[in-house]
Amino acid sequence: VLRDIAGPKDIPALLELLINAKSAAELREAERAVVSTSRKAVSESTDVVLAKLASVKEIKIKCSLLRILGKIGDSKAIGVLRDALKQENAEIRSAAIRALSSWPTAEPISDLVRIVQTSKNKIHRALAFRGYVRLIGLESNRPEEEILKMYKQAMALASDVSEKRIVLSG
DSSP per-residue string spanning 15-71: HHHHHT--SHHHHHHHHHHHHHHHTTSHHHHHHHHHHHHHH---HHHHHHHHHHHHH
* HSE-up (13 A, CA, CB side) for residue 64: 28
- Decide: residue 141, CB within 10 A, 0-12 exposed, 13-18 middle, 19+ buried: exposed
- pLDDT, position 2: 67
68 CB-near residues (< 8 Å, 6+ apart): 31, 34, 35, 38, 49, 99
- CA separation for the pair 41, 168 (Å, rounded): 36
pLDDT at residue 110 above 90? yes
CB atoms within 10 A of CB 56: 16
User: How is residue 108 annotated by DSSP?
Assistant: T
pLDDT by residue (tens digit) across 23-46? 999 999 999 999 989 988 888 999
Of 152, 52, 166, 39, nearest in space to 104 by CA: 39
Summarize the confidence of residues 90-108 as an average pLDDT: 96
Give the predicted TM-score (pTM) of the model: 0.90
- pLDDT, position 124: 96
Of 51, 25, 35, 43, nearest in space to 2 by CA: 35
14 CB-near residues (< 8 Å, 6+ apart): 2, 6, 30, 33, 34, 37
Give, in degrees to the nearest 5, the angle at Cα 70 between 64 and 75. 135
pLDDT by residue (tens digit) across 5-18? 777 888 999 999 99
What value does the mean pLDDT of the chain take? 93
Confidence band of 19 (pLDDT split at 50, 70, 90) = very high
